[in-house]
Structure 1
Amino acid sequence: MYSFNGTNIDPSVKTISIQTFQNNAPNAPAALSQRFTEDIKDYFQRNTTLKLVPRDGDLQFDGTIAAYDFSPAAIQQSGQASGLPSAGVNRLVIQVQLRFTNTKDSKQDFEQTFQSQKDFPSTQDLASVNNDPTSLREVTRNIITDMFNKSVANW
């Protein structure tokens, strides 16, 4: 079982179901849950021949957005007379908990938390990051790629 996109999917596996990832992170933008779920669906449809079904797929993805944290990542001394330290860089960290079920081979089932992060200039606040879909997709794309690799590429 080999394909050019690096997947290792048993030929008996034909379908995939991806439930909406619920947003349990209080700081996350409201639209993140839906956007993240749709991005996962798109990624699997582009990179596999699996048919997306609403539920009970041969491969099943279910999970939550567990953390969405925006905090200072690099502290630097201020050039001002007060000399107080300030954030040089802010970091966004997103964690997603995944329950993966392979109905054809339960030995491949797993639950795992996936995490990705991106640094932003200290001049960019949380509201501007939340309103920048390109930046958010960059962080979530890393998580989706890791989920893909763990579930169907066996990496």
Structure 2
Amino acid sequence: MKYLKYIFILFIATTFSGCSVYNFTGTGKIDAKTFQVNFFQNNADLVEPGIDRTFTLALQDLIMNQTNLNLVSVNGDLTYEGEIVDYRITPMTATAADASGNMGAAQNRLSIRINVRFTNKKKETDDFEKPFEFYYDFPGQQLPTGTTLNDAIKTIFERITQDIFNESLAKW
């Protein structure tokens, strides 16, 4: 029993001695000191006012909260730019016809796709351009306005910004 205690202490000591390069957000060692997030223009066919600003700020906030990088407006070591390319509401499941013969939607889906260009001045092999997309399902009788729309956009942007972070910095 006495040896088990020493083995456990040795195990813990060796485990944490290798953590100097890694941090708990998964970013590991980053040579960059600054980042910039350029305004993500809304180029979707269906335009929801204000989501371009909301997304840009959400991405800035996530990176500031999960790294020690400093946000700059120009010449960042890391640059995020792109555009919102799709904002779509589609019916997911149909309901039975009502008395007038019209079919309804039991559930609708809001999908948003954002094209991202990431540039790392310190390590150009990390550069990429790719789309990120997520969705939010809501009951067919609800309109995508007010609280429903705010919840949907918040959920979608939380997922997309985390996916962008993982792709660009966490490498997960």
The normalised TM-score by structure 1 is 0.91
Q: Matches of 2:79 and 2:121 in 1, distance apart?
A: 8
| 1:74 CA drift (Å) | 1.2
Residue 85 (structure 1) aligned with residue 103 (structure 2): yes
**Contact kept? 1:18, 1:55, Cα under 8 Å:** no
Match of 1:2 in 2: 22
Equivalent in the alignment of 1:97: 115
Unmatched 5+ stretches in structure 2 = 1-20
Match among 64, 75, 86 for residue 67 of structure 1 = 86
Work out the CA distance in 2 between the residues paired with 1:119 and 1:3: 34
The 8 Å contact of residues 21 and 65 in structure 1, kept in 2 or not, is answered as yes
- The one of 113, 134, 143 equivalent to 2:151 is 134
More off after superposition, 82-91 vs 57-66: 82-91
Match of 2:74 among 44, 48, 55: 55
Report the 3-state secondary structure (helix = DSSP H, G, I; strand = E; otherwise coil) of the residue aligned with 2:36.
strand
RMSD over aligned Cα, in angstroms? 1.7
- Measured in 1, the distance between the counterparts of 2:79 and 2:27 equals 16
- Name the SS for the 1:97 alignment partner: strand
Report how far residue 84 of structure 1 moved.
4.3
**Count of aligned residue pairs for this structure pair:** 152
Q: Is the 8 A contact 1:129 1:135 kept in 2?
A: no
Structure 1's unaligned 5+ residue stretches are: none
User: Quick one: which amino acid aligns to residue 147 of structure 1?
Assistant: I
Cα distance change of structure 1 residues 130 and 95 upon mapping to structure 2, 3 Å threshold: farther
Would the aligned equivalents of 2:138 and 2:148 in 1 still touch at CA under 8 Å? no
Runs of 4+ in 1 over 6 A off after TM superposition: none
CA contact (8 A) 2:105 2:141 kept: no
CA distance in 2, matches of 1:138, 1:73: 18
Report the structure, 1 or 2, having the larger strand content. 1
Identity %: 35
Q: Which has the higher helix share?
A: 2
Task: Report the residue type matching 1:119 in the other structure.
Answer: D
Greater RCO, 1 or 2 (C-alpha within 8 Å, sep 6+): 1
User: What's the TM-score once normalised by structure 2's chain length?
Assistant: 0.82
Alignment of 1:89-128 (within 5 A): 89-126=107-144, 128=145
CA distance in 2 between partners of 1:44 and 1:101 (Å) = 15
Larger Rg: 2
